[in-house]
Chains A and B, each alone.
Chain A
Amino acid sequence: MNVGTLNRPILLVEDNLADVDLTLRAFARRQLANPVQVARDGEEAVDWIPRWEAGETLPLLILLDLKLPRIDGLEVLARLKSHSLTRKIPVVVLTTSEEDKDIESAYSLGANSYILKPVDFVKFVDVAAQVEMYWCMVNTPPR
C-alpha cells in the first residue's frame, strides 16, 4: 500500500444524485479511506482546476460521467488532459454509454480507463470495489 495516496481525494463527476449516492455507498462498503469530492456537472468539474492551481490537493483519481449538464464529460476530459497540472491525474470514465464513438473519443482525449456502469447494484458495487482497489491501492500515481 502506498501511504502517500491515502489522504488524496477522489473526484466523482456525476450529475445523477442516485448514482452519486450509490457510488458513495459502494465505496463505503469497501471501507475506502480516500475522501470523495463530488462535482455535479461539467462546469463544477472544471472549476476545480483553478483551485488546484491555487494549491489544493490534486485528486488521486477522477471518476467522470460523460453525459453531464452544461459541460459535456468529453469536454471536461479534454480540458483536464490539456492542462499541465491536471494532465497526469488518472481519469476513469464511468458511464452507461456503450457507443463506439464515445469509447473512441474518450481514449483519444487521454482517458485512462473506460468502465460501463451496470444497472444491477450488486454488479455496480463490484465494479466500484475493483476501481478503488486498482487505482487507489495497486496503481502508483504520479507524484
Chain B
Amino acid sequence: MTAHANSGSGTEARAWIFALLAALLALSTGAVVGHYAQQRELAQERSQVLHRLSTLRARLEGIVNINLSLVHGLTAVIATRPDIDQAGFAAIADGLVSEPYALRHIGAAPDMVLSLMYPLAGNEAAVGLDYRTHPQQREAALRARDSGRTVIAGPVALQQGGVAIIARKPVFLPPAQPGGERRFWGLVSAAIDVEALYRQAGLHDPDLGLRIALRGSDGGGESGPVFFGDTALFGADPVSVEVALPGGGSWQMVAVPADGWGHTNQGALLLRMMSFLVALAAAIMVYRLARAADVLASQGARMHALLQTIPDLVWLKNAEGVFLSCNPRFEQLFGAREADIVGKTDHDFVPAELADHFRDNDHAAIAAGGPRVNEEWVRFASDGHRELLETIKTPVYDERGGVLGVLGIARDITRRTLDAAALRRQKDLLDRTGHLAKVGGWAFDVATMRGSWTDETARIYDLEPEPDVDVAQGLGCFHGESRRAIEQAVRDAIDSGRAYDLELEFRSAKGVKKWVRTIGLPVLEDGKVVRVEGAIQDVTELKLAEVKARHGELVLDSVFQALPDQFFLMDPDGTIRDYRAQRSTDPYLLREAFLGKRMQDVLPADIGERVQSSLAEIGERGGLVTCEYDLPTVDGTSHFEARLTRLAEEGPVVAVVRDISGEYRSRLSLSASEARHRQLFERNPAPMLVYAPDSLRLLAVNEAFTAHYRYSREEALALNLPDLYPPADKQSLIDLLGRLAGLAYVGEWRHLRKDGSVIMIEARSHDLCYEGHAARVAVITDITERKRMEDEIRQLNADLEEKVGRRTAELAAANKELQTFTYSVSHDLKAPLRGIDGYSRLLLDGHYAELGEEGRLFLDNVRRGVAHMARLIDDLLAYSRLERASVHGQTLDLSQAAGMVLDDRRAELQARGIGVKIDLSGLSACADPEGLKMVLRNLVDNALKFTRDSRSPTLAISGCRTEKSVLLAIKDNGIGFDMRFHDRIFEIFQRLQRAEDYPGTGVGLAIVHKAVQRMGGRVWAESQPGQGATFYLELPR
C-alpha cells in the first residue's frame, strides 16, 4: 500500500511483475497447479473426502441405531408383557413413530405372525402376514429368530408407498424357572424410511461437495446391489467406508468430490492452499488486465491491495537470484523496503550460509522444472522473531521456454507446528501418565454414538489404537451384570445428564478378564447432553489384591478354626492387638474380651505376673519363652501352655496358647506309672538290666540281677555290657548289638558271674526310653539247668538211636537167617517127602497082593499126607518169597489181568457151569504183574472152592475208580463166612473149614493179604454164612 502510494515507477514495476506472473501462469497453469495438486494435495484431498464421508457414516449408523434402540425399548416391554394387545402396542409405539425419528411403522409378530401394527392406518394389508410362509421375508425373519440378533433387510419398496429399511428383532421371554432357557416370543419389525434416513444423515445436503453412493442391500456389504447414488462412482476411484449395521451386516458407502478428483474447491482445501491460490487468481487477473490496458489500473490496484494484505511472503527473483519484486510481508523478513530489496540478492541481507541455502533451493526448483516445497526456520530482520516458513518455489519460464526466474511464496507454519507439537507432547504426557496409572480417556458424541479413546484405553481393551470408535464396541467387552450396569449408566448419562463411576468386570478383546473402574461425565450444550467424556482405569490388580486379601483373611480364619491353639498378637507391653482362635461360645474367649487389653490384665493376677516376667524376658533376649498355668474354664480347670516369641526386636510379640490339659494329665499319670514300672523292674524275680546302646554302659540293674550275678549294685553300674560275656563271645555280641535298634530280641548266651562261673542265659531285650535317653532293657533267664537237662536228653537220644541201629542190624541179620532157614527147611523137608511118597508108590506097585486091602489103604493115606505136606511147604515158600520179593509197580489193565487168571481156570469153570461176569473195562491199577496175578488167582480159587456146593455157582468181578485208587469186588454165591472171623481169614494157616470138607493149606488168603499190602493196597471182605462172599481189593491207580 505504501509503495503504491509512493511512486509511479513502483507502480510500473509492479505492473511488470504482474504481467510476468500472468505470463508465467498462462504458460504453466497445467504444469504448476495440476502438478502441485497431484503431487502434494491429492492425498490430502482424499483424506478430506474420507473425513467428510466418516462423518456421514457416523450419522447414518447413529440414526439407524437410534431407531433400533427405540425398537429395543419396545421389545423390552413386550418381554414383560407377552400378551400385549393392539391397543397397548399402539400406546407404546405412538411415541416412537414420530417426526424426529425415521420410523415409518412398527409391527410385532408373536409366533411369527404379524398381528400388532402401528400405525394401523395404511398398514392394514400387512396384518396377518405369516413370516414362516412369506416368500420374500421368510429368510430374513427366520435368520433373526435363529440367530437371536437383529437382522436388517432392504431398502425395500413398501406396498404402502415409499422405500424403507426393515429391521427385524427377535423377542425372547425370560426363562420360566431360574436357570431355564429363554423362550422365543416372536419378531418385532420396524420400517425405517430411507428418505428420512438420507435426509437426516445429510446425504442430500447441497453443500456436501461430494457425490455419494451406497450398496449392500440387506446388509450385504460391498457385494450387495447399489441402492443409493450413481453406480459409476464405484469405478471412479472413490473413497470408501463401511457402514456397520446392527446384527452384523454392513453397507459400503463411497464418495468422490463433486467435481471429480483434482478439481476440488472445498473450503478446507482452499484454506490450506490459500496463499498459493491467491497468487494464482491474482496472476490470471493481471494477465487479463494486461491485455485490456484500460482496466489494468483499477484491477491492478485490487490485486495490489490483495498482495499487500495477505499474510504470506511473496517474492520474485530472476535466474541469477536478483530480486525483481516482493510484498510487504517479505520486506519484514529482510527488514528493508521493497525498493531497497529489488536489484539485490539474498547475500545482501542474510548470512552467506543461509543465502547459499536459499539459492540452492532456487536452483533445485529450476532443475526440477516444477514447484519445490521446503520448510525452514528464519529470523525476521524487522523484529528478530523466528518463524517456521513453508516455502514453495516455482520456476518461471518465458515464451520460448527460457527460465525467467523463481517465484517464491512462504507461509508461517510456526503456529501450526507448535500447536501440533504441543498437542503431541500433551497427548504423550497424558498417554504416559495414563499408562502408568492405567487410566485411559475416552469421549463419544451422543448423536453418532461414536467417539475416540486414548491409547491406554485401547490398551485396556486390548485393541489397536484407532481414532474412531463405536460406543457399542466399547460396551461389547462388558458382559452379563456388568453389561447391564454400564448400559444403564450410559443411558442415564445421556438421558438425564447423570455422571457415573462404576467398578465392573469385563473381558478384553483378547478375552482377558479384568476389573475396570469407568467414569463417565456427560457434557451438556444448550441443556442437552451432546457428548460423554470419561476415563477408564484397569483396577484388576487392585481388585485381585482385595480378593486375595479377603481370601487371605478367610484362610487365616479357617486355619485358626482348625487349630486348637489361641493366637495372640501383642505389643511388647502385652497389649493384645489381634486374637484368633476357634469360634467359641465361651464369653471369656471372645475376641472383644481381649482386644486392646493387656494380657497381664485379662489373666488372674498370679498368672498375669508370670506373663509379665515372660514378656520382660522376651524383651531382653528374644527367643521362645514358655509358660504354663491353670485357668478356670467352662469345662472346669484347664492347663494351658503359652509359647511367646517376638516377631522382631522391639516388635510385636506372638503368643500361641494351647490347652494341654490332656497331655498334662497324662504327664501326671505318667510319673505315677513310672513309679509303678520302677517297682516292677526292681522287684522282678528275673535279673534285669538297662544299658545304653551307644556306650554299652549298664544304666540300671535290679535286685535279682545283683543277687544272681553276685555283684553289688555299684559294681554292676560300673560295668559295660560285654563285661558279662566270656572273651570268646564278646565279638559276636558286639556284632549283634549293632543290629538291634528298633527290634525285639531273644537269644541264648553264656554269661560270667562275678566269681567267673559261667551260666547259660536267655536274654530278651527291646528298646526303651530311660530317663529321656535311648536305652535297651534286657530280661535274663538263667537256663544253665535247662541246658544241662537238654544236653542230657540229647545224649540219651543219641544213645537210643545207636541202640536202635544196633537192634535193627540184629533184626536184619535175624531176618536173613530166617529166610535161609525157610529156604533150607523147605528144601530139606521136601526130600524125605519125596522118599516117603516114592517108596510108598513102589510098595504099592511091587507088593500089591501082599499088602491086602487094608495095607493099600494105609499107603494111600501116607501118600495123601505127603501130598498135603508138599503143598504146605510150597505155599509156605510162596508166602515167604512174597515177603522178600521186590515189587515193581506198573500200570496194568485189570480187565486183561482178570481175563488171564480166568483163562487158566477155563476148564473147571466150564465143567462146573459157573456163570462168570467181568466188568472191569477201562480200569487200570498200579501193581506188580506177578503179585496182582497171584492175588486174583487166589481169590478166584477161593471163590471156586467155596461155591462147590452151590446150585448155580456165579462169580462176578467188577470195579470202579475212586479218587486215587481202584476198587475191585470179587463176588461169589458160595457158603460165605461169619464176619466174626473176618480178620482171621487173612492170617496164615488159619482155616474156617475142616480140611476134609474144603482142602487147603490156609495160606492162600494170607498170600493175598501180604501181596496186596506189598503193592500198597488193601483187601477186605463182606459176607454172611450161606450168603456168598465179596472180597474187595483196593489198589493204587
Contact = CB atoms under 8 A, between A and B. Distances in A.
Interface stretch (A42-50, A113-121, A133-141): A113-121
A53 interface: no
Interface string A38-71: 0000000000000000000000000000010000
A120 B837 contact: yes
Nearest to A18: B835
Contact of B839 (A18, A100, A120): A18
Contact of B842 (A16, A25, A97, A120): A25
Nearest to A22: B838
Interface in A91-143: 95-100, 117-122, 124
B1003 to A, nearest CB: 15
User: Which of B830, B833, B866 has the most chain A CB atoms inside 10 A of its CB?
Assistant: B830
A96 B830 contact: yes
Contact of B834 (A22, A67, A99): A22
A119 B866 contact: yes
Contact of B837 (A25, A97, A121): A121
A100 B881 CA distance: 9
Contacts of A95: 827
Contacts of B831: 16, 18-19, 96
Contact of A119 (B823, B828, B837, B842): B837
B476 interface: no
Contact of B830 (A25, A100, A119, A122): A119
A19 B835 contact: yes
Contacts of A96: 826-827, 830-831, 834
A97 to B, nearest CB: 6
Contacts of B832: 18
B830 A121 contact: no
Interface in B871-886: 874, 877, 881, 885
A124 B874 CA distance: 16
Contacts of A97: 823, 827
A26 B710 CA distance: 100
A98 B877 CA distance: 8
Contacts of A119: 830, 833-834, 837, 866-867, 870
B841 interface: yes
User: Which of B824, B827, B828, B874 has the most chain A CB atoms inside 10 A of its CB?
Assistant: B827
A19 B834 contact: yes
Nearest to B930: A100
Given A18-B834, A19-B831, A97-B827, A120 B867 contact: yes
B838 A124 contact: yes
Nearest to A67: B827
A120 to B, nearest CB: 6
Contacts of A67: 824, 827-828
B839 A99 contact: no
Contacts of A16: 831, 835
Contact of A117 (B834, B841, B874): B834
A87 B874 CA distance: 33
A121 B826 contact: no
Contacts of A22: 834-835, 838-839
A121 B870 contact: no
Indicate the size class of the contact surface on chain B.
20 to 34
Nearest to A96: B830
B464 to A, nearest CB: 118
Contacts of A120: 837, 867, 870
Nearest to B841: A121
Interface in B124-167: none
B486 to A, nearest CB: 121
A67 B866 CA distance: 21
Interface in A18-39: 18-19, 22, 25
Contacts of A117: 830, 834
Contacts of B870: 119-120
A128 to B, nearest CB: 11
A16 B839 CA distance: 14
A121 B827 contact: no
Nearest to B878: A98
A19 B833 CA distance: 10
B837 A99 contact: no
Contacts of A19: 831, 834-835
Contacts of A100: 881, 885
Interface string B659-685: 000000000000000000000000000
B881 A99 contact: yes
Interface in A69-84: none
Contacts of B837: 119-121
A18 B838 contact: yes
Contacts of A99: 823, 881
A9 B420 CA distance: 165
User: Which of A18, A96, A119, A124 has the most chain B CB atoms inside 10 A of its CB?
Assistant: A119
Contacts of B838: 18, 22, 25, 121, 124
Nearest to B874: A98
A22 B840 CA distance: 11
Interface in B829-861: 830-835, 837-842
Contacts of A18: 831-832, 834-835, 838-839
A121 B834 contact: yes
User: Which of B824, B838, B841, B874 has the most chain A CB atoms inside 10 A of its CB?
Assistant: B838
A70 to B, nearest CB: 16
Contacts of A25: 838, 842
A99 B841 CA distance: 28
Contacts of B823: 97, 99
B600 to A, nearest CB: 115
A105 to B, nearest CB: 13
A121 B842 contact: yes
A69 to B, nearest CB: 12
Interface string B797-839: 0000000000000000000000000011011101111110111
A122 to B, nearest CB: 6
Contacts of B827: 67, 95-97
Contacts of B834: 18-19, 22, 96, 117-119, 121, 124
Interface string B679-708: 000000000000000000000000000000
A79 to B, nearest CB: 22
A99 B881 CA distance: 8
A120 B827 CA distance: 15
B827 to A, nearest CB: 5
Contacts of B877: 98
A100 B867 CA distance: 23
Contacts of B830: 96, 117, 119
A99 B840 CA distance: 28
A51 to B, nearest CB: 28
A105 B468 CA distance: 131
A120 B866 CA distance: 8
Contacts of B833: 119
A97 B826 CA distance: 8
A95 B877 CA distance: 15
User: Which of A18, A96, A98, A100 has the most chain B CB atoms inside 10 A of its CB?
Assistant: A96
A9 B1027 CA distance: 62
Nearest to A97: B827
Contacts of B866: 119
A74 B830 CA distance: 19
A117 B829 CA distance: 13
18 contacts: A16-B835, A18-B832, A18-B838, A22-B834, A25-B838, A67-B824, A96-B827, A96-B830, A98-B874, A100-B881, A100-B885, A119-B830, A119-B833, A119-B837, A119-B870, A121-B837, A122-B841, A124-B834
Given A22-B835, A118-B834, 6 more contacts: A18-B838, A19-B831, A25-B838, A67-B824, A119-B870, A121-B834
Interface of A: 16, 18-19, 22, 25, 67, 95-100, 117-122, 124
Interface of B: 823-824, 826-828, 830-835, 837-842, 866-867, 870, 874, 877, 881, 885
- Smallest CB-CB A-B distances: 5 pairs: A18-B835, A121-B838, A119-B870, A121-B841, A22-B838
